[in-house]
Every structure is written in structure tokens, then in C-alpha cells.
Structure 1
């Protein structure tokens, strides 16, 4: 029968930090000198924020008091055609974009970072157009006239 090498009754110092093989505490995967990796939630939030800032720059008077929010999913609110992608509150001047339905229910012809970003930007444009009572193509007409 093998003998236990531990002579004292208290656990070794390395088990208090849950390190493996005495290497110390675990740290981030990217290391101390590299930025953290971006995930889908951060990319979605940054896309919504940058698109909202772009639209606020084009329509400063109409969108100055509009608040943009991101929620995971709608709670008990479904539209006539299924799950809502966004909700516009005209009274409180608020636009809420729902991340999970926008990301998971998109039927993209090419599922890469560029097309996912363009789809999120399109949802922000359509939500703002619904708030302002305009066509989404009328929000930034000069952007598409580069010929």
C-alpha cells in the first residue's frame, strides 16, 4: 500500500488558489500585455453604439434626446410576425434592440463578421426610422450616392 507523502493535516499551499501543478493562480488567456478577446456581446454593443452615434450626427435635432438600449430578449412581447427584434417607445424616446433575436434569427447569405455587422446596423436604421416615421433609406441618403 502506498504511503501518503503529506505529513501535516493541512492542505498544501497550491490547492488554496486552485492552481495546477504548482504554477500559481490562473490568469487570462491573452496574457497581461495583450487586449482581451472580443466576444459577440461586445461586438453587438459596439455596433449598436457606433451606428447610433452615426445617426445622431446626421439627425442631431431629432435624435438628441433618444436613448438606445440593448437587452438580451423581449420579455413576453411578440410581434404579429414572430419575435420582435427591437422596440420603439415614442413617449419616452427610447429604442431597445434585442440582441439574441437579431443574432440568432438572422438568415444571412454569408455568415461572417461583415454581414453580421451590416445586419445589426440595418436593424438600428429600421428602428430609428420607425421612431422618426421615415423610410430607413431616407436616414442617410448621401451615404449611398457615391457615384
Structure 2
């Protein structure tokens, strides 16, 4: 007979969550990433709201494989039915930011740079003019 420990030793039932769902500690990595992207998009796009009215911003986990591409893209702009859609790829961005050892600060900076780069491409302006 095995003497493995059980979670419900004293008959109290399974433990509940450590934090309620609305508390930031209970957010998943992808939810935190989505929030970071949303904040950066709001900040960068605010001065250009009228010119970027038909542009959608989205987050996807990974880009579709492209046999012709040698590098994994961190972001992309796609035309879908006359609407531009800017996509930030979560896993490659997290991987790139995590490799520097700076953590969330580096992740936020990288997301900011990607949003500025994609917006500047859409507006036909240099990145320095979009976000000085």
C-alpha cells in the first residue's frame, strides 16, 4: 500500500484559488502581454486616431510558418478586406525580451518599439516622427 500524501488530508475539500480572479496576480502571461500591448497601442496611437481609424491591433501567439523567411517576425501588418491589421506575436517577443535578462521593462520597451514601427509604416513616416 502506497503512503502518498493527498491534498485533502483533513477532509476539508480542495483548496481554492490563492487570489480572486480580478486581482492582477491571477492574470496569465498571455493576459499580461495583452494588457501591455493594449497600453502601448493606446499611448502611441492617441495622436494619430483619425488617420488610423480603420486599423485593428491584435496579438497572436506565433506567426504562421513561412518557408521563405529565415527569421521569425515579431510583428506584422496584414491587409484583410480593405482593413489593416497590426499583429504582435507574443511568444517570439517574450523570447527576445527574456533573453536580455531585463524582464518586464525590456518586454514593455520592445512592444513599444514594435507598435511605433508598425504605426510609422502605416502612416508612411519615420518612427522618430511618430513617437519622438
TMscore range, shorter length = 0.7 to 0.9
User: Aligned runs of 1:1-147 on 2, under 5 Å?
Assistant: 20-21=8-9, 22-30=11-19, 32=20, 35-37=23-25, 38-77=27-66, 80=69, 82-90=71-79, 91-106=82-97, 109-141=100-132
Q: CA deviation at 1:102?
A: 0.9
Q: Which residue of 1 aligns with 2:3?
A: none
Which one has a bigger Cα radius of gyration?
Answer: 1
Q: TM-score, normalised by structure 1?
A: 0.70
- Provide runs of 4+ in structure 1 moved above 4 Å: 78-81, 107-110
Q: CA deviation at 1:82?
A: 0.4
Structure 2 unpaired stretches of 5+ = 1-5
Structure 1 residues 81, 106: CA separation in 2 closer, same or farther (over 3 Å shift)?
farther
- C-alpha distance in 1 between matches for 2:61 and 2:42: 21
Contact kept in structure 2, 1:85 and 1:101, CA below 8 Å: yes
CA RMSD after TM alignment? 2.6
Structure 1 unpaired stretches of 5+ = 1-17, 142-147
Contact kept in structure 1, 2:44 and 2:115, CA below 8 Å: no
Contact kept in structure 1, 2:97 and 2:106, CA below 8 Å: no
Contact kept in structure 2, 1:72 and 1:98, CA below 8 Å: yes
The number of equivalent residue pairs is: 123
Q: TM-score, normalised by structure 2?
A: 0.77
